[in-house]
A = this chain, B = another copy of it.
């Protein structure tokens, strides 16, 4: 494992952002949305945004090494002296972490409720910043007995899973929680919002437990059906399976390399 500078503000303060992007060949169907979120995060944290063309060049070079690739981009406020004040000039540090990706057939998920709650913090909500202790603590409440855990905020609103967004169908409306106060505006979530014409709204535990379908999504694994949460059992129906096929289609046929 190569080296990261010891004085990087990403390490010392979590002063940065990340994206995790799936490539099939050199094709990343959701690339633009990842870059848009990264750019929005930079604006929120007052960090200089990377040049999208250069970023794409780097990523395409890395993606060419594998049939399928997951590229994690980490952008930090770079090196600096001790203290919360950023150096001037600030020279951001951009690193790509590249791994071969093995697509797995969708599995259905057994869920739990996490005890760890998201703080309400509109300033940091939605963006994919590096301050992720809440997600870490939530995920580490269990080992392998469950597939994912749902997290509430400190006001008992459902926000999402530890590493995915959540969608529920109530009657025939699809709903997903707002991520303006806590949580992450997932790129998979954006795709599913558009694909389903879903609505954004506050959800309670009871709303989720009473829903007739429950789907989790992140940008690597796509939509996965939940089948179990506490006393509730769901039977994924044709509409849920169709979503999964649509996602697989999205990542199936590489377009001609756009380079």
- B-binding residues in A (CB < 8 A): 1-15, 18, 20, 45-46, 70, 72, 74, 76-77, 79, 82-86, 88, 95, 97, 99, 116-117, 119-124, 129-140, 143, 154, 162-163
Task: Decide: B95 and A82 in contact? CB cutoff 8 A.
Answer: no
What is the CA–CA distance of A7 and B97 in the complex, to the nearest angstrom?
9
The number of times this chain is found in the oligomer is 2
Task: Decide: B8 and A4 in contact? CB cutoff 8 A.
Answer: yes
Residues of B within 8 A of A130 (CB): 11-14, 133
Q: Which residue of B lies closest to A138 (CB)?
A: B84
Task: Decide: B84 and A140 in contact? CB cutoff 8 A.
Answer: yes
Residues of B within 8 A of A124 (CB): 119, 133-134
Given A136-B86, A140-B84, answer yes or no on A74-B11 (Cβ-Cβ < 8 Å).
Answer: yes
A12 to B: closest C-beta gap in Å: 7
Q: Which residue of B lies closest to A77 (CB)?
A: B136
Task: Decide: B13 and A133 in contact? CB cutoff 8 A.
Answer: yes
Given A83-B139, A84-B162, A119-B124, 20 extra CB contacts under 8 A: A1-B7, A2-B6, A3-B5, A11-B74, A11-B76, A11-B130, A12-B18, A13-B130, A13-B132, A14-B14, A14-B130, A15-B136, A46-B140, A72-B82, A82-B97, A84-B132, A86-B136, A120-B154, A124-B133, A129-B133
